[in-house]
């Protein structure tokens, strides 16, 4: 087909949903929940496309204290990862908990009072391998020690940040795609309108929609036990690119 550009995301893991009660969650700036163990994916290292602002929301009826640590990273030494949570840091290290020497207090039912907390990677890596970070947010006591157990409550939360230098190729540099799971929905952030088609693993078309610029929410309740393919299509240069993403 003339002037057709296709970006395909293969979701190789089954979607799973559980009824875990969380002490806190992460939200985007519009108040949408970012599901635990979500991956935020970027194709840019430039501001604002590579920056993602977030809030932590306390779901308990008491104030809580939070820190965040980098539990793993690859394709980078942590330099030029700008991570702000209460305070801003311009490089990160595995095993360090932020904010260093303190914590972020969140009142019952509220989000943290600090604004502008965000992830922003500016490190291009080696140009071949992706740059990846895994962050863990967790509750601490007044001494800054981790709260390891509260009956019937999950007290930590995991978020992954993924940058792929291969997405900076000329044929796909427009994309700047971010996606994450929120309940029974996939939240997709895109910087220009694009056609979405969802196929089952056998290649049968099961959903089609024109996504608007900005945030889009796709209900996948009926597909949560299936492996699916997301196909993003736009008119440009008759080029096809493929990217595989494993969803936790």
- pLDDT per position as a tens digit, 7-58: 444 454 444 444 568 999 999 888 888 888 888 878 788 888 788 899 999 9
Quote the pLDDT of residue 182: 75
End-to-end CA distance of the chain: 34
Structure tokens at 224: 């949560």
Distance separating alpha carbons of residues 170 and 144, to the nearest angstrom: 46
Structure tokens at 20: 């875990």
pTM recorded for the entire structure = 0.66
- pLDDT per position as a tens digit, 130-154: 899 999 999 999 999 999 877 789 9
- Domain segments of the chain as ranges: 4-245
- C-alpha distances (whole Å) from 167 to each of 130, 178, 244 are 10, 12, 12
Distance separating alpha carbons of residues 211 and 30, to the nearest angstrom: 18
Distance separating alpha carbons of residues 115 and 236, to the nearest angstrom: 38
Task: Read off the pLDDT of each residue in 108-128 and give the average, rounded to a whole number.
Answer: 91
Question: Hey, is 8 helix, strand or coil?
Answer: strand
């Amino acid at each position: 087909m003339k002037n057709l550009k296709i970006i395909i995301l293969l979701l190789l893991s089954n979607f799973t949903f559980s009824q875990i009660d969380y002490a806190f969650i992460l939200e985007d700036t519009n108040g949408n929940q970012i599901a635990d163990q979500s991956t935020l994916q970027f194709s840019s290292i430039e501001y604002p496309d590579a920056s993602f602002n977030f809030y932590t929301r306390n779901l308990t009826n008491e104030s809580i204290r939070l820190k965040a640590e980098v539990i793993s990273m690859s394709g980078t030494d942590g330099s030029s990862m700008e991570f702000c949570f209460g305070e801003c840091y311009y490089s990160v290290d595995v095993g360090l908990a932020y904010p260093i020497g303190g914590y972020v207090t969140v009142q019952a039912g509220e989000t943290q009072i600090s604004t502008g907390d965000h992830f922003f990677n500016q490190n291009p890596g080696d140009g071949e391998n992706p740059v990846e970070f895994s962050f863990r947010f967790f509750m601490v006591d007044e001494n800054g020690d981790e709260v390891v157990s509260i009956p019937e409550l999950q007290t930590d939360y995991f978020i992954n940040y993924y940058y792929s230098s291969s997405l900076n190729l000329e044929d796909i540099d427009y994309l700047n795609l971010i996606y994450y799971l929120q309940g029974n929905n996939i939240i997709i952030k895109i910087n220009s309108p694009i056609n979405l088609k969802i196929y089952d693993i056998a290649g049968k078309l099961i959903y089609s929609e024109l996504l608007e610029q900005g945030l889009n929410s796709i209900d996948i309740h009926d597909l949560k036990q299936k492996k699916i393919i997301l196909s993003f299509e736009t008119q440009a240069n008759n080029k096809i690119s493929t990217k595989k993403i494993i969803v936790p």
